[in-house]
Every structure is written in C-alpha cells, then in structure tokens.
Amino acid sequence: MNYDVQEIAVACHNTMRRMDAVANNISNAGTPGFKQEYLSFLEDAAQGGTATANGRAEMESVQIDFRPGMINRTGNIFDLALNGEGFFSIQTVNGVAYTRKGDFTLDRDGFLITQTGDKVLGEGGPLQINGQVVNIENDGSVVVDGISLGRLNIVGFKNMRGLKRGNGGYFQTGERAARIDAPAVKQAYLELSNVNVIREMVNMIDIQRTVESYQRVMQTISDEDKQSTGRVGKLV
C-alpha cells in the first residue's frame, strides 16, 4: 500500500491544531464575551475552491467567529454588554486593546477597570467614577449623580479578520478603529460566549478519532519500512 508520508504528517499536524482550537473554545465557554476559534481550509481547485501550487489543500490561519453571544442580566451595575457591533477600548501596557468582555469593576481610585486591572477608556481617556448613583446609557454615556462624565469609547473595524487575540484575551490590530456613533450598551448585563459546548464536544470526539486513524496509518508505514529493510538485508 502506498502512502504519501508528508501529506499524512501535514494532515495530522492540522488535526492537532484543530484540537487545540476546540479545547480552547471549551475551556472558555464560561468566559463573558469570548469568541470561539475555528480553522478554515483552502479546498482543492477541482472542487471549486482554491489550491496551492502543488494542487493540495492547505490550512489557513486560525480564525475568530465574531458572531454575538446571548446577553444575560446580572444586576451588577458595572457589567456592560454590547447588544450589537463594537468593542470596548482598554488601555493596556502594550497600548490600546479591544474586548467584548464587559465584567468591569472599580479600582480603589474609582477608575473603571477590567478584571485584570486595565483601565476602560472613554472618548476622553480613562473613566474615573466617584459617586453614588451610576447610570450608563444605551449610547455609552456615563452619568454619575446626574453629572455626565462622557461616553465609553466604543469602536468598530472594517476588517474584522485583522483582529488577533492577544494577552489577556484582548483583541489587537494594526487596523484603524472607527468610533461607533450609536452603540447599544446594556448596563447590568453581560454578553456570554458564543461557544456551543455540545457541538464542540462532538467536534473533539471526531478529532480524537481522526488522530487515532492517523496513528494507525503511521504505524502501518513504520511496519512496512521495517519489512522492506529486512528484505534488503537478506538480499545483501
């Protein structure tokens, strides 16, 4: 039986990458605002897709599914969900990053921060909240004790594929951010992840079976190589 060892090795590597993506999705199913990952493929040209120079399909990079998750009421006034497009802007040590994870809180100085301590940005910079009654309007306006502190800096991007997941689960990009003039912010709500756990568990089982089949093929190749080496040795 003839096998293309290189092609099998590439296919096995691709499958392991797929397993990593599925495992990451499952582990973050409970993370607010998490966007699941998937791997896309270039199909063979004969099937109407795009092929490489050698005519074989190759894997593209890991992609992110930006479809929204369900929105769940929490009752926490600093939990914020975006009911539509856009990202919250976050000031990190590496510059501005973006997230849909809106489980914010206040630090001891009254700054609105993420769970990892990074400041949430308004259109004029970090938002410092000192007061008793905090209302965050649908358009992202922050009103404390009846006084407006400005609006959350909620932005969007033309090229969503340019967004890459970085440290802390934030998205980073070299693309220019565009302010969203009419966002839909819901106070005391959180966007859940868009991971379908049952589907991902089924995917994991399918991947594990595929890995086992590749292992059997590689074992067959190894056994055939040993037999061939033995026959050559007898001829010598």
HEC letters along 162-183: HCEECHHHCEECCCCCEECCCC
CA distance 188 to 190: 7
Residue 55: CB atoms within 10 Å: 9
On average, the pLDDT of the chain sits at: 85
Q: Are 65 and 36 in contact (CB under 8 A)?
A: yes
Q: Are 35 and 193 in contact (CB under 8 A)?
A: yes
For the segment 86-101, what is each residue's pLDDT rounded down to a tens digit? Answer: 999 999 999 999 999 9
Q: What is the pLDDT of residue 193?
A: 96
Would you call 187 helix, strand, or coil by DSSP?
strand
For the segment 10-69, what is each residue's pLDDT rounded down to a tens digit? Answer: 777 778 888 999 999 999 999 999 999 988 765 443 333 334 445 454 555 788 999 999
Phi, psi at 178, each rounded to 5°: -115, 130
For the segment 72-129, what is each residue's pLDDT rounded down to a tens digit? Answer: 999 999 999 999 999 999 999 999 999 999 999 999 999 999 999 999 999 999 999 9
CA distances from 49 to 41, 43, 62 (A): 9, 5, 18
What are the domain boundaries of the chain? 5-66+195-235, 71-191
What's the mean pLDDT in 163-176? 90
Would the pLDDT of 5 be above 80?
Answer: no
What's the mean pLDDT in 186-190? 98
Q: What is the pLDDT of residue 23?
A: 95
Q: What is the pLDDT of residue 218?
A: 73
Q: What is the pLDDT of residue 104?
A: 98
Q: What is the pLDDT of residue 165?
A: 92
CA distance 196 to 32: 14
